[in-house]
Amino acid sequence: MRGCRVIEIALLLPVFASTAVADDYKVYVDRCQSIKAPKAKIERCLALMENGKLSKAIFPGIYSEIAFAWSELDDFDRAAEYTRAQIRITLENMKAEFSSGKLSAIGRQVWPRQMSHSYNRLGQYLSLARLKESDGSSEKALNYAKAELSSYNAAISYDRENHAAYSARAEVQSLLCNDFQATMDMEAALRIARARDDDRAYRENKSKVLPRCVPGWRSR
């Protein structure tokens, strides 16, 4: 999970490249990202946003750190909540940058990938929340699965080459008894991994065993 967050922050920086934001980023690293203990990280990161001094360009990264901290505390609902907040502020920032004409060419290329990573991670948190349910076939578990599916759909809409999102969506499609779509998604994940010469991803997807259909979820 941390790997996705590192990628996301790396994608974010060129979009808001300025001296002021670079200075804010250093503060964010020192007072939020670098904190290891989950509870302390949540407190420090929230305090950093509440002091009103940081650029909103840094807020998506802060929300991401808070979400990750909640996931380390096994509270995946709150992790999903803060990831949604991260997505919301990222979209607000992008709209402001587009309307002002300040968004660079590289920023236009990078931000869809950032959004795709964010939605993919949201789906992962929702999946973990579903797996915590004592009854894996309950109505609540089904609602999590549907939310996961929406998250992976969004991830793919922003980046058609996000093989991780296809692979994860295949699992949900299988749970929902959509066997044909699950197969198509796994084939897409394999095709993209092969095209990128990502041997590890290809092997993992090739050996993946999809979960069984939950009969009560068929056609729901």
Q: In this model, does residue 15 exceed pLDDT 90?
A: no
| 95, 171: one domain | no
Overall domain count for the chain: 2
In this structure, the answer to whether residues 7 and 61 fall within a common structural domain is: yes
Residue 152 lies in a domain: no
**Which residue, 136, 168, 186, sits at the end of a domain?**
136
Q: Is 80 exceeded by the pLDDT of residue 48?
A: yes
pLDDT category at 156 given cuts 50, 70, 90 is very high
- C-alpha 75/C-alpha 78 separation (Å) is 6
Whether the pLDDT of residue 52 is over 90: the answer is: no
Contact at 8 Å (CB) between 167 and 189?
A: yes
Residue range 25-50: mean pLDDT, rounded? 95
Give yes or no: residues 21 and 128 share one domain: yes
Domain that holds residue 200: 160-220
Domain-located, residue 125: yes
Determine the pLDDT at residue 146: 97
- The helices-and-strands tally (H runs, E runs) of the chain is 10, 0
Res 9 pLDDT > 80? no
User: Does residue 94 sit in the same domain as residue 19?
Assistant: yes
Q: CA-CA distance, 99 to 76, in Å (whole number)?
A: 35
For the chain, what is the mean pLDDT? 90
- Asked whether residue 118 is assigned to any structural domain, the reply reads yes
Tell me the average pLDDT across 186-204. 97
Residue 17: band (very low, low, confident or very high) from pLDDT cuts 50, 70, 90 = low
Residue 3: pLDDT band (50, 70, 90) is: very low
pLDDT tier, 81 (very low <50, low <70, confident <90, very high otherwise)? very high
Q: Is 74 found in the same domain as 8?
A: yes
Rounded average pLDDT over 192-218: 95
pLDDT at position 1: 56
Between 130 and 101, the higher pLDDT residue: 130
Cα–Cα distances (Å) from 156 to 96, 112, 129, 149, 193, in that order, read 24, 10, 21, 11, 15
